[in-house]
A = this chain, B = another copy of it.
């Protein structure tokens, strides 16, 4: 059944988030899931496959959270803010613990990296880029290449999450202000 697969996946996400990927043993996952060690291998090829599946589930949840209806009626600033909001608050659910662990492995595992890039990051960029191009066309004053602008925005979001993880207390305190601040900054700059 798929329910047991999910049961195992939930357990894996929980213990990976709590203890990290490498320190966590298959036995830890099995205990948490309430199954035997061997059972895990009936649903997943390897310990790493668990991580792939977790990443895949992240993709699904990331994709599904945005309601197409709302999007259509939003202005550019609203879209930027919404994107920032989604990106900053969805992985915050467990205080970035799972994100932290998964990102650590992504940086070091080539296949995981490809998966993340092709399935999550790239699609997000491709989806957003037309909006920026369109915006650029409507604002001829802007000299910044839309392709770089999108990446700067997604990079800022990613980098802010990492800085939060690293322990920046000001970010922790002001997290809720970021969507607006980032949207303003991105559209108007600091001025000058």
Contacts and interface: CB of A to CB of B under 8 A. Distances in A.
Interface size class of A (residues with CB under 8 A): 35 or more
A170 B146 CA distance: 12
Contact of A142 (B132, B159, B190): B190
Contacts of A156: 152-153, 155-156, 159
4 cross-chain pairs, A with B, having the tightest CB-CB distances, nearest first: A155-B159, A159-B159, A158-B159, A189-B189
Contact of A147 (B100, B147, B155, B174): B174
B159 A154 contact: yes
A141 B105 contact: no
14 contacts: A20-B108, A101-B108, A104-B104, A122-B168, A125-B168, A142-B191, A148-B178, A148-B185, A154-B163, A155-B158, A155-B162, A159-B159, A187-B190, A187-B191
Interface of A: 20-22, 76-77, 100-101, 103-108, 113-114, 116-117, 121-122, 125, 132, 135-136, 139, 141-149, 151-160, 162-163, 165-168, 170-171, 174, 177-178, 181-182, 184-192
